[in-house]
Amino acid sequence: MLFLVKNIFARWIACLLFFPGPVFAQGLEKVSEGAKKEGKVKVGITVRWVEGGKPGAKKMVELFQSRYPFVKVDYERVGGSRERERVLSELAAGKVSYDVTVLSETQVPVALKANLMEKIDWRSLGVLPQHVHEDGVGVNYRSQVYGIAYNRKLLPDSIGAKLTWDDCASSQYRGKVAMDSRPRHLEIFWQPQVWGRDRTLAHARRLLTTPPCSSKTAPRR
pLDDT single digits (tens) 2-30:
655 543 333 333 444 444 444 445 566 77
Same domain, 36 and 106: yes
| CATH number of the domain within which 8 lies | 3.40.190
Over the stretch 56-96, which tens digit does the pLDDT of each residue have?
889 989 988 888 899 899 999 988 778 888 888 888 887 77
Domain count, the chain: 2
Is 152 domain-assigned?
no
Q: Which of 109, 120, 111, 113 is nearest to 91 (CA)?
A: 111
pLDDT at residue 160 in the model: 92
| Predicted local confidence at residue 134, as pLDDT | 76
Q: d(Cα 128, Cα 21) in Å, to the nearest integer?
A: 10
> Tell me: the pLDDT tens digits for 89-146?
888 887 777 888 888 777 888 888 888 887 777 777 777 777 787 777 888 766 667 7
For residue 130, what are the domain limits?
A: 2-139
pLDDT at 103: 83
